[in-house]
Structure 1
Amino acid sequence: MRPLLARVLGEDAFALLPAAVRRLHEGGSFEGEAPVQGPEGVLARFAAWVVGFPAGSARVPVRVVITPDGEGETWERDFGGRRFRSRMVPVAAGLEERFGPIGFVVAVPAEGTGLRVMVRGWKCLGIPVPLFLAPLGDAVESEDEAGRFRFDVAVRLPLGLGRVVHYRGWLVPN
C-alpha cells in the first residue's frame, strides 16, 4: 500500500522529501527523544489534558508507532509514558488529523528540506468551528545531519490564551 502522505502529495513531491521524512511516513515504529514545554494557563492545561499532550520536561524518551489502516493511518505517540493517539485520513484539502472529538484539516506543503503542517480548518464533534478559534499549530518535519527524522511541533490557544505544548526532537526506526 502506498503511504498516505505519498497519496496526498503525489509520488513526485513525496520523492523530493528527505529520506528520513519519507521513511517515517511509510509507517512502523520509531524512537527518540525530545524536550517538551508544557501548557501555560488553565485553558491550555485543559486543552493539553483533553488531547493527552505530554507535560513539560527537559528530556523525554519518545516512541511513535504509525499504522496504516484502510484509507488512513493511526499515530500512537508515547512521551515518557504520556500517550496520545490520532487518526489521519485523506480529505479534499489535504489531510484530516483527528484527536478524539476534535479534527483538524491540514495542508502539508512539501519541499526538499521537509514539510510543514498547516491548519486550514477544524471541527469539534463533527461540527465545523470558525478557523479564528482554532488552536494555532506550527509543525515542521525535516532530517538532521545524522540522517534522523526531526520534528518541531508547537500548539497555542488562539487569542493569546497560552501555549498548549511545544516539543521538538528526533526519531529513528525502532
Structure 2
Amino acid sequence: MLGPAFATLAGPVRALHATPLPCRYLGQARIERGRHWLVPLLAALARLPHNGDALPTEVLFSAHGQGERWARRFGRWPMVSRLWAHQGYLREQLGAVCFEFNLQVREGGIDWSVRRVWAFGCVPLPARWFGGVCCREAWHEQRYTFLVDVTLPWAGALIRYEGWLEPQ
C-alpha cells in the first residue's frame, strides 16, 4: 500500500508489516473511553475494548482472503478487524463499521487518516464526523508503538488507546 515509502519506515514498524503471516505480537496498552452517554452504544457497534491501564495486549495477524485479520486482545477484551486494500486505500471492517483510510508515511511511522465510513455495510456516515480521528503507528524506544484517538464532534471523546508491541 505504501509503495517505495515502505522502505523509509522505522525498523520496528517495517518489521511488523513485513513479517510473514500468521504472526503474533505481545505488549501493553492503555485504553480510555469517553464519558458521553452514546459511548457504550458506539463502542458496542465497533466492538471497542473497555477502559484499562497497563493492559496485557496481544495481536494475532493472519491472512484473510485478499487482506488480513487482526485479532487484538486488550486484557480480556477482544477486538477483531479485517483489513484489505481497495483502490489505493486501506479499508478496515470493525464490527458494524467499515472505515476507509489514507495512509501516509511521516517521520518513520504511518499516519492513518479517515476518508470514508459506513455503518452496517451500506449506510454512509458523514466524513466530517471523523475529522477528529488520529491513528498513528510509530517507533519509540526500539518498539513498535500505536495510538488511536477518536473524538466525534457531537459526542466528544469516544476512545483513546495507545501502547506498544513486540514480536513473539
Same fold (TM over 0.5): yes
Gaps of 5+ in 1: 1-7
Q: Where does 1:87-102 land on structure 2 (aligned, <5 Å)? A: 87-102=82-97
Write the distance in 2 (CA, Å) between the matches of 1:96 and 1:111: 20
Write the distance in 1 (CA, Å) between the matches of 2:98 and 2:48: 15
Instruction: Give the CA deviation at 1:148.
Output: 0.9
Report the equivalent of 1:25. 17
* Counterpart among 153, 163, 167 of residue 161 in structure 2: 167
What number of residue pairs does the alignment pair up?
A: 164
Report the equivalent of 1:148. 143
Q: Where does 1:112-131 land on structure 2 (aligned, <5 Å)? A: 112-125=107-120, 126-131=122-127
Write the distance in 1 (CA, Å) between the matches of 2:42 and 2:79: 13
* Larger strand proportion of the pair: 2
In 1, are the aligned partners of 2:151 and 2:157 still within 8 Å (CA)? yes
Write the distance in 1 (CA, Å) between the matches of 2:7 and 2:151: 32
* Residues 127 and 93 of structure 1, relative CA distance in 2, 3 Å threshold: farther
Question: Once the two structures are superposed, what CA deviation does each residue of 1:23-59 show, in whole Å capped at 9, x if it has no partner?
Answer: 2223511010012112321111211122222222221
In 1, are the aligned partners of 2:45 and 2:96 still within 8 Å (CA)? no
Write the distance in 1 (CA, Å) between the matches of 2:81 and 2:30: 21
In 2, are the aligned partners of 1:39 and 1:55 still within 8 Å (CA)? no
1:49 pairs with 2:44: yes
In 1, are the aligned partners of 2:27 and 2:165 still within 8 Å (CA)? yes
* TM-score using structure 2 length: 0.90
Query: RMSD of the TM alignment (CA)?
Result: 1.6
1:132 pairs with 2:128: yes
* Larger helix proportion of the pair: 1
1:38 pairs with 2:30: no
**What amino acid does structure 2 have at the position aligned with 1:140?**
R
In 1, are the aligned partners of 2:109 and 2:137 still within 8 Å (CA)? yes
Write the distance in 2 (CA, Å) between the matches of 1:97 and 1:111: 21
Write the distance in 1 (CA, Å) between the matches of 2:70 and 2:46: 13
Report the equivalent of 1:110. 105
Deviates more, 1:54-63 or 1:128-137: 128-137
* TM-score using structure 1 length: 0.87
Write the distance in 1 (CA, Å) between the matches of 2:126 and 2:57: 33
Report the equivalent of 1:85. 80
Report the equivalent of 1:158. 153
